[in-house]
Chain A
Amino acid sequence: MIQIEAAATIAGALAANIKRVIVGNQHAVEQGLVALIAGGHLLIEDVPGVGKTTFAKSLAISTGCIFKRIQFVPDLLPSDVMGVNVFNQRSGDFEFRPGPIMAQVVLADEINRAPPKTQAALLEAMEEQQITVDGVTYPLPDPFMVIATLNPIEYQGTFSLPEAQLDRFMARIHLGYASKEEELTIIARQERGHPIEELEAVASPEQVVLLRHAASEVQVEASVRDYIVSLVRTTREHPSVAYGASHRASLALFRAARSLALLRGREYVIPDDVKEMTSPVLAHRLVLTVEARARNIDGRRIIDELLRSLPVPGLPR
Chain B
Amino acid sequence: MAAGSMWQRLSGRVGGLPRTLAAEPLTFLLHLSALLVATWSVGLAHWASTPPLVLIMAISTVSALLVLRLQRPLWVKLVLSVTLGAIVIYLSSVAVVDSEGWLAKFADFNSRMGWWWKAVLVTDASTDSLPFAFVLTAATWGVGYATTWALFRHHNVWLAVVPVGAGVLFNLAHLPRSQFLYFFLYLQLALLLIAQTTVAHWVKGLDVRKIEHPRSLGYVFLALAVALALTAVLVAALFPIGSKPARPLRPVSRAIDRYVGLQEEFQRLFGGVKSGSQVPSSLHFFGQVLPLVRPVPDKRTPVAATYAPWFWRVRVYDTYTSKAWKVTDTALRPAPGAATTIQGPDYLDPAEEEFPLGLPIEANLIYDIRLVADIPYFLTAGDVVYVDQPAKVEVAKAPTYRLDMAAPTSGDGLPSEVRAWANTLPGSPEATSLLAQSPGALDTPEVQVIEVVVRDPKSGRRKSIQVDEGETGQRDALQQELKNGELVSGLEVRLRAPYEDFLGLKRQSRGPLYTAAGNLPNASAADLRGANGDYADWMVDRYLQLPETLPQRVRDLAFEITKEADNPYDKAMAIEQYLRHFTHRRRMLQIPFDADGVDYFLFQTKEGNSDYFASAMVVMLRSMGIPARLVLGYGPGAQDERLGSYVIRDSDSHTWPEVYFPGYGWIEFEPSPIYPKGPRSLQTLALAVALGQIDMQAPGEGGSTTEEVAKEQPSDEGGGDDEEELPEDLGGRFPGGRGPFPIPLNYFGAPLGAGGAVFLLALGGLTLAIGLLWATRVFILWNVNDAYQRMGRLAAFLGVGPHPWQTPFEFCRALSIVVPEATRDIRLIGEAFVEGRYGGRKLTLKERYRLLLAWRQLRRTLTIAGLKAEGFPNHVGERA
A255 to B803 CA separation, bound complex (whole angstroms): 27
Interface residue count on the A side (C-beta < 8 Å):
22
A224 to B805 CA separation, bound complex (whole angstroms): 13
Contact A219–B839 (Cβ < 8 Å): yes
Which stretch from A43-51, A142-150, A281-289, A304-312 is at the chain B interface?
A304-312
Contact A271–B807 (Cβ < 8 Å): yes
Which of these, B789, B809, B834, B877, contacts A316 with CB under 8 Å?
Answer: B789
| CB closest residue in chain A, given B833 | A316
Contact A266–B807 (Cβ < 8 Å): no
Which residues between 784 and 841 of chain B lie within 8 Å of chain A, taking CB atoms? 785, 788-789, 792, 802-810, 834, 837-840
B-side contacts of A316, CB under 8 Å: 785, 788-789, 792
Which of these, A219, A309, A312, contacts B807 with CB under 8 Å?
Answer: A312
Contact A221–B840 (Cβ < 8 Å): yes
A311 to B807 CA separation, bound complex (whole angstroms): 9
Contact B805–A311 (Cβ < 8 Å): yes
Contact A224–B838 (Cβ < 8 Å): yes
Contact of A312 with B840 at beta-carbon distance under 8 Å, contacts A317-B789, A317-B792 already known: no
Which of these, B792, B802, B805, B808, contacts A308 with CB under 8 Å?
Answer: B805
| CB closest residue in chain B, given A316 | B789
A88 to B534 CA separation, bound complex (whole angstroms): 176
Which of these, B785, B788, B806, B840, contacts A268 with CB under 8 Å?
Answer: B840
| CB closest residue in chain B, given A220 | B838
Which of these, B785, B806, B807, B837, contacts A221 with CB under 8 Å?
Answer: B837
Which of these, B804, B808, B839, contacts A267 with CB under 8 Å?
Answer: B839
Residue interface mask B18-62, A partner, CB < 8 A = 1: 000000000000000000000000000000000000000000000
Contact A272–B807 (Cβ < 8 Å): yes
Contact of A268 with B805 at beta-carbon distance under 8 Å, contacts A316-B788, A317-B789, A317-B792 already known: no
Contact A315–B808 (Cβ < 8 Å): yes
Please indicate which of the listed interface residues A268, A272, A308, A316 has the most CB atoms of chain B within 10 Å of its own CB.
A316
A307 to B803 CA separation, bound complex (whole angstroms): 11
A316 to B790 CA separation, bound complex (whole angstroms): 9
Contact A268–B838 (Cβ < 8 Å): yes
| CB closest residue in chain A, given B810 | A272
Contact A308–B839 (Cβ < 8 Å): no
B-side contacts of A311, CB under 8 Å: 804-805
B-side contacts of A270, CB under 8 Å: 807-809, 834, 838
Contact of A272 with B837 at beta-carbon distance under 8 Å, contacts A316-B788, A316-B792 already known: no
B-side contacts of A271, CB under 8 Å: 807-808, 838
Q: Say how far A153's CB is from chain B's closest CB, in angstroms.
A: 28
Q: Which 5 pairs, one residue from A and one from B, show the smallest C-beta to C-beta distance? A: A311-B804, A268-B839, A271-B807, A316-B789, A268-B838
Residues of A at the B interface (CB closer than 8 Å) are: 219, 221, 223-224, 266-272, 275, 307-312, 314-317
Q: Say how far B203's CB is from chain A's closest CB, in angstroms.
A: 27
B-side contacts of A308, CB under 8 Å: 803, 805, 877
A-side contacts of B805, CB under 8 Å: 307-312
A223 to B839 CA separation, bound complex (whole angstroms): 12
Which residues between 815 and 873 of chain B lie within 8 Å of chain A, taking CB atoms? 834, 837-840
Q: Say how far A49's CB is from chain B's closest CB, in angstroms.
A: 28
Which residues between 479 and 538 of chain B lie within 8 Å of chain A, taking CB atoms? none
| CB closest residue in chain B, given A261 | B838
| CB closest residue in chain B, given A308 | B805
| CB closest residue in chain B, given A269 | B838
Q: Say how far A1's CB is from chain B's closest CB, in angstroms.
A: 12
A230 to B85 CA separation, bound complex (whole angstroms): 79
7 A-B pairs (CB sep. < 8 Å): A221-B837, A224-B838, A267-B839, A269-B838, A270-B809, A312-B805, A312-B806
The size class of the interface chain B forms with chain A is 10 to 19
| CB closest residue in chain B, given A276 | B807
A80 to B805 CA separation, bound complex (whole angstroms): 48
Contact of A314 with B839 at beta-carbon distance under 8 Å, contacts A272-B807, A308-B805, A309-B805 already known: no
Contact B804–A314 (Cβ < 8 Å): no
Contact of A312 with B838 at beta-carbon distance under 8 Å, contacts A270-B809, A272-B810 already known: no
Residues of B at the A interface (CB closer than 8 Å) are: 785, 788-789, 792, 802-810, 834, 837-840, 877
| CB closest residue in chain A, given B785 | A316
A275 to B803 CA separation, bound complex (whole angstroms): 15
| CB closest residue in chain B, given A266 | B839
A-side contacts of B808, CB under 8 Å: 270-271, 315
Please indicate which of the listed interface residues A224, A269, A270 has the most CB atoms of chain B within 10 Å of its own CB.
A270
Q: Say how far B219's CB is from chain A's closest CB, in angstroms.
A: 27
A272 to B803 CA separation, bound complex (whole angstroms): 14
A314 to B804 CA separation, bound complex (whole angstroms): 10
Contact of A221 with B838 at beta-carbon distance under 8 Å, contacts A270-B807, A312-B805 already known: yes
| CB closest residue in chain A, given B788 | A316
B-side contacts of A219, CB under 8 Å: 838-840
| CB closest residue in chain B, given A312 | B807
A138 to B809 CA separation, bound complex (whole angstroms): 47
B-side contacts of A221, CB under 8 Å: 837-838, 840
| CB closest residue in chain B, given A313 | B804
B-side contacts of A223, CB under 8 Å: 837-838
Q: Say how far A132's CB is from chain B's closest CB, in angstroms.
A: 43
A275 to B810 CA separation, bound complex (whole angstroms): 10
B-side contacts of A312, CB under 8 Å: 804-807
Q: Say how far B648's CB is from chain A's closest CB, in angstroms.
A: 77
Q: Say how far B636's CB is from chain A's closest CB, in angstroms.
A: 84
A-side contacts of B840, CB under 8 Å: 219, 221, 268
A314 to B840 CA separation, bound complex (whole angstroms): 14
B-side contacts of A266, CB under 8 Å: 839
A-side contacts of B788, CB under 8 Å: 316
| CB closest residue in chain B, given A315 | B808
Identify 13 new A-B residue pairs, CB closer than 8 A, beyond the known A270-B809, A272-B809, A315-B804.
A221-B837, A221-B838, A266-B839, A267-B839, A268-B840, A270-B834, A275-B810, A308-B877, A309-B805, A310-B805, A311-B805, A315-B802, A316-B792
A-side contacts of B804, CB under 8 Å: 311-312, 315
Q: Say how far B552's CB is from chain A's closest CB, in angstroms.
A: 98
A93 to B695 CA separation, bound complex (whole angstroms): 160
A315 to B791 CA separation, bound complex (whole angstroms): 13
Contact B837–A275 (Cβ < 8 Å): no
Please indicate which of the listed interface residues B785, B788, B838, B839 has the most CB atoms of chain A within 10 Å of its own CB.
B838
A103 to B839 CA separation, bound complex (whole angstroms): 37
| CB closest residue in chain A, given B841 | A268
Contact A314–B807 (Cβ < 8 Å): no
Q: Say how far B560's CB is from chain A's closest CB, in angstroms.
A: 103
Contact B807–A275 (Cβ < 8 Å): yes
A224 to B807 CA separation, bound complex (whole angstroms): 11
Contact of A314 with B789 at beta-carbon distance under 8 Å, contacts A270-B807, A272-B810, A307-B805 already known: no
A-side contacts of B837, CB under 8 Å: 221, 223, 314
B-side contacts of A317, CB under 8 Å: 789, 792
Q: Say how far A51's CB is from chain B's closest CB, in angstroms.
A: 24
A-side contacts of B803, CB under 8 Å: 308
A307 to B789 CA separation, bound complex (whole angstroms): 22
Q: Say how far A249's CB is from chain B's closest CB, in angstroms.
A: 20
A-side contacts of B792, CB under 8 Å: 316-317
Q: Say how far A203's CB is from chain B's closest CB, in angstroms.
A: 26
Please indicate which of the listed interface residues A223, A272, A309, A311 has the most CB atoms of chain B within 10 Å of its own CB.
A272
| CB closest residue in chain A, given B804 | A311
A-side contacts of B806, CB under 8 Å: 312
A307 to B805 CA separation, bound complex (whole angstroms): 7
| CB closest residue in chain A, given B877 | A308
Q: Say how far B209's CB is from chain A's closest CB, in angstroms.
A: 26
B-side contacts of A307, CB under 8 Å: 805
A312 to B833 CA separation, bound complex (whole angstroms): 15
| CB closest residue in chain B, given A274 | B807
Q: Say how far B876's CB is from chain A's closest CB, in angstroms.
A: 13
| CB closest residue in chain A, given B801 | A317
B-side contacts of A315, CB under 8 Å: 802, 804, 808
A29 to B384 CA separation, bound complex (whole angstroms): 118
| CB closest residue in chain B, given A275 | B807
B-side contacts of A314, CB under 8 Å: 837
